[in-house]
Structure 1
């Protein structure tokens, strides 16, 4: 097999993107379109991963990795499942008020792990559905039904209920205890959540809800970068997977004379500087070996792992510069930063692949690796794959290569209306702009 670091950038990205996409074909249940959270045995479904899958199928069609008929079949299976799912909110149901439980049984589609009704994960699922609704525009019975299902699912979500009469959207709800005691506060991946909640023609959140959210932001100067703080890299990527945030600004960003895309670019520089300084002296850290994000990691409960005397966090939202940090890095999080700083990302990915080739199998990146932790004398590498990692890699490589998802979502009136309701102006939101409209 060709060694990835020896290829041109384009060939290397093509192989890694296709390998990442293969995750969805390997883990989907074709009977209901649901996709496993991880490739590990008996993994449940993550509703967010289903949203990523729905977004990745059009990419696979355009790249020649999948036939349109097969993509429509899988997409329809998922959308029909969610339309017909149990929305009673009971402990063994699928959802409530148009939202869905975070984790579901891959065969029955019912709640598992006593997971929460998740507002953000529902939003990521619906973002994938809206992507499908924009892409499949043929005048056929199947694609017509698909678009109708997308509209039904989006309009069923009771976004206003998710506020629970508070200032911001709540993070979740459980049938046993009601709403979780915390809302979406502080900068996060929730821009796409708020945009959809603002743009809803049926159950929109209150007009001041988005302003209440941005009022909780934390603005800092880190390593000489003025910056809207969020520690993990995925926060700076997920909304950008669907929404082209270049050059459009909400009131908060207008006041700071920047935008969210430039803020994500700053996140790359801050990550590089942090690992270059390497305050905890972890093995491997330098300006071309970075990537602190939400990812799998070694744990203290595994006795065969040899490391320095320090705490290991398992799966955690690792971040810069305030942690947590145990020496674990996510190569997918680096690759998904490609649109923001392509030269720096490619330099880092090539470096990481040269130094730690074990973190790829058949060109697919593992969730994470930790050069400071050895298992039986070998580099610690996450076991199996995570759907969110593979999906964000596919989507952000495509946004870098062709802008396909950004073009599709520019044509989604719900997203456009929601952004404008939140106060975004400029760039492609200008009234004369019709790029991508369908």
Structure 2
């Protein structure tokens, strides 16, 4: 009898990456290129999920999961929808001032759920658009059209309008009530937003907006290392999916001889330390079972393991070490940590899959699970959906770990370079590329 050998780390990661990518062909409207927010039937499109999908198509071509011609067709169809869809204050509009509504109906593309015109979700969409423009660089008609549409979509965005006469960018706007009262300031996923907004050749924001954004950063101490705090892990992953922060520094990082990449490494260590200490005494937490991030959570229940009676939070941006925390873990977070701490990532993924063998759906991690909730399965409460942005993040992050692929594409993007330089970033690949350009001039 043949003895079954354990799957290698490389094979495991390959399998999980392809399963994550398969979300997009399954939850995609071939008539307009829109991608569903989650795997639940009849949910609307998330424009952020579309951005992750556009970036993931380029990975799929490189990995041999999709022919280049099919990726070109899907990308062109998607970009045509966003370039040609109606922009205005009307109910059936898909956006306004170049921005797009957070959620759109999968069939018509009209605004869904009374959602806001979202500056960050438009950013994530456009990051995918720019990835496609960087990858599809051939001089044939189809790929030239992708680049033309990408320029139209990006340059139409009125970032300056989104300041709403303030110093930092507003989070959103609604046609009935105007701008939301919240703004992007303090460390969060909006570094990518400010990069795109600063680089705009048509409606840029001033560098002073970025200076105000970083001025409200909050620093903490882990051991003897000061690090930039943000509790939920997704904050430390989203901008990094497109931007290679290794060795480049803006003013607050240069002042501390630090960078955002190393900061993310420390925040992973903070999460693991928190899970090992487990101050809330939740079931399952240890140094290899961790991952607090924004996710859905269990409904109210009194059926908890270990005599616990915590208040469950539903959807929340969970974080460590300051919380909130109700025992809900984002299982995709360990895999998304791969480029920053490979051993912690692999150990985390293997422990999750061996301890909770029924956790995945079609090989994909769900949005969250809570083993403290008492059910008939060791996983406890498990989100009944996979989330598009989680799956896209995994496709991109794994490929960055394997080959620097998305990072390499975006290092060549004049939008990313211009935005980073206007934000005050120096060093690393920004200066290395300049040296190459000078030598070849």
Tell whether the structures are fold-level matches, with TM greater than 0.5.
Answer: yes
**Judging changes above 3 Å, is the alpha-carbon distance between structure 1 residues 185 and 174 closer, same or farther for their aligned structure 2 residues?**
same
1:238 partner SS: helix
Distance 1:128 1:47 in 2: 10
Distance 2:74 2:210 in 1: 34
1:119 paired residue number: 119
1:186 paired residue number: 186
Contact 1:5–1:354, Cα closer than 8 Å, also in 2: no
Runs of 4+ deviating beyond 6 Å: none
Distance 1:357 1:223 in 2: 35
Distance 1:113 1:348 in 2: 36
Post-superposition shift, 1:376? Answer: 4.4
Post-superposition shift, 1:90? Answer: 2.3
Post-superposition shift, 1:249? Answer: 0.2
**Judging changes above 3 Å, is the alpha-carbon distance between structure 1 residues 433 and 173 closer, same or farther for their aligned structure 2 residues?**
farther
TM-score, scaled to structure 1: 0.96
Distance 2:383 2:222 in 1: 30
2:419 paired residue number: 418
2:47 aligned with 1:47: yes
2:418 partner SS: helix
TM-score, scaled to structure 2: 0.95
Q: Deviations over 1:323-381 (max 9, x none)?
A: 11110111111211111111111111111111011112332212211110123455321
Post-superposition shift, 1:433? Answer: 4.5
Distance 1:5 1:128 in 2: 38
1:330 paired residue number: 330
The two structures, once aligned, show a CA RMSD in angstroms of 1.7
1:321 partner SS: coil
1:214 paired residue number: 214
- 1:23-422 to structure 2, matched below 5 A, reads 23-300=23-300, 306=304, 308-376=308-376, 379=379, 380-422=381-423
2:435 partner SS: coil
Distance 1:119 1:382 in 2: 27
Contact 1:223–1:273, Cα closer than 8 Å, also in 2: no
Contact 1:56–1:391, Cα closer than 8 Å, also in 2: yes
1:290 partner SS: coil
Post-superposition shift, 1:155? Answer: 0.4
Contact 1:91–1:114, Cα closer than 8 Å, also in 2: no
Contact 2:334–2:344, Cα closer than 8 Å, also in 1: no
Contact 2:356–2:378, Cα closer than 8 Å, also in 1: no
**Judging changes above 3 Å, is the alpha-carbon distance between structure 1 residues 128 and 5 closer, same or farther for their aligned structure 2 residues?**
farther
Post-superposition shift, 1:89? Answer: 2.5
Distance 1:272 1:8 in 2: 24
1:285 partner SS: coil
1:432 paired residue number: 435
Q: Deviations over 1:120-142 (max 9, x none)?
A: 00000000000000000111111
Contact 1:195–1:415, Cα closer than 8 Å, also in 2: yes
Q: Which runs of 5+ in 1 are unaligned?
A: none
Q: Which runs of 5+ in 2 are unaligned?
A: none
2:374 partner SS: strand
Post-superposition shift, 1:216? Answer: 1.0
Distance 2:390 2:145 in 1: 30
Distance 2:287 2:378 in 1: 23
